[in-house]
Structure 1
Amino acid sequence: MARNKYPEVTVNRILDVATRLFLEKGYEETTIQAILDELGDLSKGAIYHHFKSKEDIIEAVIDRMFEDVHKSAIAIVNDPTLNGLQKIQKTIQSSLQNPNQEKILKSAPDLMHNTRFLSAEIYESVNVVAKQMIEPMLREGIEDGSIQTKYPKQMAEMLMILANIWLNPAVFQVSENELYDKFLFLKYVGERLGIPVLDDRMLDRLQLYRSIMEENESKNLS
């Protein structure tokens, strides 16, 4: 069999088709065979050469959707006009308002009922986002006086666990009123700790994401 000279082209074709099917049908209803049927000219072996499972495919799809977020975060971190607190505020706002968030919620699996993805989200929140991004910004804020805390590591982890897990409609599917109360509570906690990172514009986005997850749940039950 001839070797594929352009593997990145094949990978992008697989991800393009998978993304569309995940958005149209949802993660649970999209099979490897469905992706294969849409591609037409690839064998199942060709797909498994690049991806070991459907879980690997959705992870690659999500990583690709988040490329702009990572680039934006790097630009914020390196912005000399912002202090530490402003960098954290802008980073969280940028992530929450990223239009690809809607696509991810429509295509990704239910995190609460998928331990692989839930554990990956927790690991990413604590060991990547908190450790590599938020904690350095907190330490910068301590140095420039915009943040006062003796526990930047613990504060970074707490903030990311609450924001990315506890407040995330993809993990905890709650009513509109309960999400509102959780948002106000986290906003209150942030203000009392000297890191006011949430504002009312973010609540509108969270309510939108909650409604998307509610719609997904209805589709799965029908």
Structure 2
Amino acid sequence: MARNKYPEETVARILDVSLKLFLEKGYENTTIQDIIDALGNLSKGAIYHHFKSKEDILEAVCDQRLFAGVEALMNEVVTDKRLNGREKLTRMFTASLQNTEQGKFFSAAPDMTHTPRLMMLQLDSQIREVGPNYLEPVLREGNADGSLHVEHVREASDLLLLITNQYLNPLLYPMTPEEARERCSFVRQLLAGVGLDVFDGEMLENFFVFSAHAAKKQRESEAPGQKRRGM
């Protein structure tokens, strides 16, 4: 077989097609054969040359297509000189919740409790990249301009990421609107106690919308008679 002269282009095509299929059909209902058929001119061997499994494709889609977009949003907010530290922090989380492509994807993605690699990939990306590069500088800026009063910046950054990516994640903890409000009320009180009173009305409303959408998708995926397909 001839050597592929443009492996980067091949990988990019695989990821673009896979993301489209994951959004249209859901991750569980998309097979490697579906991806091959959609690509048209690549064999199964060519795909496995770049990715060991469908889960590896999922990880690459997250890392190169979704998380990169989140960081672009964060960078736009962090460099906005019109905002103080508290306003930047609130805007960062609101922008993340309003990221429709990411929301659609994670609604189509597998149950994270059954796909721990995806869950850890998301958390690792947040703690390794978002925390030190975006959250911590904004927390320090808020301390400097007086809009925040956070004594332990690094620890507060880690706590925010764990809460927003784990405890408030409706894909990990499906919740009714009432449960979502109770959970947000508790988190708001908890964060205020460490100088992070940042949960405003707009952020809470966006979270409720996101939670309701995730709950609806989960109910649909568990509908009687629907059978999930593997690879």
TM-score w.r.t. length of structure 2: 0.85
Give unmatched runs, 5+ long, in structure 2: 227-231
Shift of the 100–193 alpha-carbon distance from structure 1 to 2, 3 Å rule, reads same
Q: Which amino acid aligns with 1:172?
A: Y
Deviations 1:85-110 (A, max 9, x none): 22212211111111213222232221
Cα distance in 2 between the residues matched to 1:50 and 1:215: 35
- Per-residue CA distance 1:152-180 (angstroms, 9 max, x = gap): 11111111111111001111112221011
Say if 2:77 and 2:92, in contact at 8 Å, map to a contact too: yes
CA distance in 2, matches of 1:101, 1:42: 27
**1:195: how far off?**
2.3
* Highest RCO, 1 vs 2 (Cα 8 Å, sep ≥ 6): 2
The offset of 1:192, in angstroms, is 4.0
Rounded Cα–Cα distance in structure 2 between residues aligned with 1:211 and 1:29: 22
Map of 2:15 onto structure 1? 15
- Secondary structure of 1:136's counterpart equals helix
Name whichever of 18-27 and 67-76 sits farther off.
Answer: 67-76
Paired residue for 2:137? 136
How big is the shift at 1:13?
2.0
2:81 corresponds to 1:80: yes
Q: Which amino acid aligns with 1:41?
A: N
Q: How does 1:65-104 map to 2 (within 5 A)?
A: 65-104=66-105
What secondary structure is seen at the aligned counterpart in 1 of 2:17? helix
Checking the alignment, whether the CA contact within 8 Å between 2:127 and 2:161 is kept in structure 1 is yes
- Residue equivalent to 1:50: 50
What does residue range 196-215 of structure 1 map to in structure 2 within 5 Å? 196-215=197-216
Match of 1:24 in 2: 24
CA distance in 2, matches of 1:100, 1:52: 25
1:101-112 → structure 2 map (5 Å cutoff): 101-112=102-113
1:121 corresponds to: 122
Instruction: Count residues in correspondence.
Output: 222
CA-based RMSD of the aligned residues comes to 2.1
Q: 198-207 or 144-153: which moved more?
A: 198-207
Per the normalisation by structure 1, the TM-score is 0.88
Aligned to 1:148: 149
